[in-house]
Amino acid sequence: MRVIRVLPMLCFFIVITVGAQESPDQLQPPGFIGEEAGSGSWPAVAQSRGDLRTHTLYRPVTLPSSPLPVFLWGNGGCSDNGLGHSYFLREIASHGYIVVALGYAIEERPLAGARVVQTAPQAVQGAAPPPAAPGPDATSMEQHFQALQWLTARNDDALDELHGHIDLDRVAVGGHSCGGLQAIKTAADPRIDTVLVFNSGVYNTPGGRSGINVGKDELAAINGPALYITGGPSDIAHANSVDDVSRITHVPVFFGWLPVGHGGTFAKNDTGGEWAEVAVHWLQLQMENDSGAGRWFTGSDCTLCTMEAWTVERFVNP
């Protein structure tokens, strides 16, 4: 493990219809999808909702009595398949989160080909780069705001099973690759407490390969602490992440990488692997003010700083 440099820490009923143009034929019917999963205290499941067709909900099967923080998620490639990161998102939800992924509950096919995640940099040589731009059925950043509107309505509806179970004063946003760019842009909203950026970074030319209209100047608008995680120098987004982090000086940033390439560990061991483990600890720090979770990211002897496989580029000062 190498620590490269230190971070100076500054201390209503609504049907969502925007997204892909038409509902796909393989759209899951309303209800729970697949088996409950996750290593947290609240085994979680994906859920298709009839009043939220262009998004996919992840939630504990049994909802705790206390309201749960919210995590909004954008998929790699800005895909409209809300089940594409299902292992990773069920793991997060099982630790007590209401998760809303952009995209229809189409088919549980998490990142085909990524089930076996190798850790050598050469393992990703020759891997196909991300698409030049999102496809015609890609999600949009605006769907994050639609999700917040929907969550507000459900929380206020005494007849809804989510009534009183959503804490809209604690909201995080995150995403993979193209979805990470959506998250960065969304993180300017004052309702967002923190942003989690996986295998992503803003292009010097707005849009770049992704087609997402976000520029480097918008990094200064990020509203809360930021987590940047990449698959190392062989990750096509790594250089952009390095540049992003060098420009963000107004909020705390943690930046680390593991040599697994652009696909990350989202489908590893049916739990999301290291990416989910890091995400859960970051959310527990930011949403729960958990000091134990904070030790993963704080100081030059942080937990990730001492893990041999990880390289920490920037950590949070205590």
CB 95 within 8 A of CB 40: yes
Look at residue 206 and tell me whether its pLDDT is greater than 80.
no
CA nearest 75: which of 107, 102, 110?
102
CB 1 within 8 A of CB 306: yes
Q: Fill in the DSSP letter of residue 3.
A: E
Torsions phi, psi for 61 (to 5 deg)? -60, -50
Q: Give me the pLDDT at residue 114, please.
A: 30
Q: Which residue has the tokens 């179970």?
A: 165
pLDDT digits (tens, 9 = 90+) for 42-85: 999 999 999 999 999 999 999 999 999 999 999 999 999 999 99
Q: What is the DSSP string of 99-133?
A: EEEESB-----TTTT-SS---SGGGGTTPPPPPSS
What mean pLDDT do residues 101-115 have?
A: 63
More confident residue, 14 or 252: 252
Please enumerate in sequence order all residues whose Cβ is within 8 A of that of 109, keeping only pairs 6 or more positions apart, or say none. Answer: 81, 83, 84
Q: Give me the pLDDT at residue 19, please.
A: 37
More confident residue, 113 or 67: 67
Q: Give me the pLDDT at residue 20, please.
A: 39
Domains of the chain: 3-114+125-315 (3.40.50.1820)
The H-assigned helical ranges of the chain are: 86-93, 142-156, 178-186, 238-247, 273-288, 291-294
pLDDT digits (tens, 9 = 90+) for 147-185: 999 999 999 999 999 999 999 999 999 999 999 999 999
CB 317 within 8 A of CB 9: yes
Q: Fill in the DSSP letter of residue 242.
A: H
Instruction: Tell me, rounded to whole angstroms, the distance of Cα 23 from its chain centroid.
Output: 24
Q: Give me the pLDDT at residue 165, please.
A: 98
The tokens of 245 are what? 């982090």
More confident residue, 117 or 86: 86
What mean pLDDT do residues 210-232 have?
A: 92
The H-assigned helical ranges of 86-229 are: 86-93, 142-156, 178-186
pLDDT digits (tens, 9 = 90+) for 263-306: 999 989 889 999 999 999 999 999 999 999 999 999 999 999 99
- Indicate the burial class of 190 (C-beta count within 10 angstroms; 0-12, 13-18, 19 or more): exposed
Q: Give me the pLDDT at residue 213, please.
A: 81
Q: What pTM value is reported for the model?
A: 0.86
Q: Give me the pLDDT at residue 300, please.
A: 94
pLDDT digits (tens, 9 = 90+) for 223-240: 999 999 999 999 999 999
Angstrom CA distances, 298 to 18, 92, 196, 308, stand at 40, 21, 16, 17
